[in-house]
Amino acid sequence: MKRVDERDTMFARAQYQKGSKAYEDYYSRNPEKKAIDDSIRRRPNLCSEGTNTYNPLNSPMASCAFEFLEDIRHLSEGKVNPEKVQGNKKIITKRIKGLAKKYGAKLVGITELKDYHFYTHRGRLEEFYGQKIEINHKYGIVFAVEMDKDMINRSPMLPEVIETSKCYVDAAIIGMILSYYIRSLGYEARNHMDANYLLMPVLVAKDAGLGEIGRNNLLTTKEYGSRIRLGVVSTSLELEVDEEISFGLEDFCRLCKNCAGTCPSKSISSEPYKESNGYLNWIIEQETCYIRWRQYGTDCGICISSCPFSQQMESIKAVDTFKNNEAVIATVLSEFRKKYRTRPFVPGNPDWLR
């Protein structure tokens, strides 16, 4: 599998300001992306005045969370205790997973990090633009934070981005605690958090057995669907690893197509797997997806709420695997559409936001 350059991601491209070193370098190498990216940057940012959902009292609840994350991201790396604490690998793995769950993680897995997990170069932050990523950490600890179902089912309204930003904070705090703890034991550790990733959490989580990648290109777990946010800590500490899992998500997504059908920008393909980045994958049009985010002022979330796995349906919980199981998939989809039609939607704000 080929490595991805973070400079090519929409989140990085949206930040390149005209006249900056990053802007001049990126569009000299990718002139075909300049026009659409310039048009995106002329749009209001998420949670900003001019977007569909802007509220001067409520929108800052989400934007302040991202400001907080910006303020603490320099803590992702730190000094390592020169004295190593020796311990049994099985016991320390148990401690790490237990600590993550104590701080709010719902799922935790560990995998050996592979080359394709990492970006080739940094692109999201101006001060690190173009920096080649070279990291020798052997293991990735990945954890999932659950997003509140009623808040996500209000997608694409403002409660959705208040919830997603809150869960980015939750994941960042868990990662910080794990990183600080591991460094105190005398081993290197780095917290990979929002806007400060050196790797791709979805790929790490898939290999660590948390779930599979769905049609919407998000990690989908059997327990919570894609209604999660991920965090990763990379480390040199020796740990026990988890096995990759499969519950037949590819077969389910092939028949379901809910996220593609409800996507307001039609950015999610309804076609089967296609080759992308050297392996078979579902195809997403990131530019049109992000344009809709900037219109709404939230990170949309409709594809998350429209996924049957995100609704924790009993008919899904009762099935071990959906692989080669079209009759069972049809039953689940029939139940979903009878209950939610195209997708669940909770109108209005929760009481505390009214």
Segment 100-109, tens digit of pLDDT = 999 999 999 9
Name, in order, each residue with C-beta under 8 angstroms of 217's C-beta and a sequence gap of 6 or more.
202, 268, 281, 282, 284
Does position 279 have pLDDT exceeding 70, yes or no?
no
pLDDT > 70? residue 294? yes
Q: What is the pLDDT of residues 32-46, one digit of tens each?
A: 999 999 999 999 999
CA 161/CA 157 separation, integer angstroms: 8
Say how far apart CA 50 and CA 307 lie, in whole Å. 29
191 bridge partner residues: 233
Evaluated on CA atoms 169, 172, 178, 181, the torsion sign reads negative
User: Is residue 222 pLDDT above 90, yes or no?
Assistant: yes
* All structural domains of the chain with their residue ranges: 54-235, 249-353
Partners of 221 in the beta sheet? 225
Q: Is the pLDDT of residue 186 over 80?
A: yes
Tell me what the pLDDT averaged over the chain comes to.
Answer: 97
The answer on pLDDT for 261 being more than 90 is yes
* Mean pLDDT, residues 196-219 taken together: 98
Does the pLDDT of residue 277 top 80, yes or no? no
pLDDT score, position 273: 77
278 has pLDDT over 90: no
pLDDT, position 1: 83
pTM for the model: 0.97
User: How far, in Å, CA of 343 to CA of 234, rounded?
Assistant: 37
Q: Which amino acid is at 208?
A: A
Number of H helices, E strands in the chain: 14, 8
Q: Model confidence over 167-176: pLDDT tens digits?
A: 999 999 999 9
> pLDDT > 90: what percent of the chain?
96
In a 3-state reduction of DSSP, which class is residue 64?
helix
Instruction: Identify the pLDDT of residue 267.
Output: 98
pLDDT at 313 over 70: yes
The DSSP call for residue 147 is P
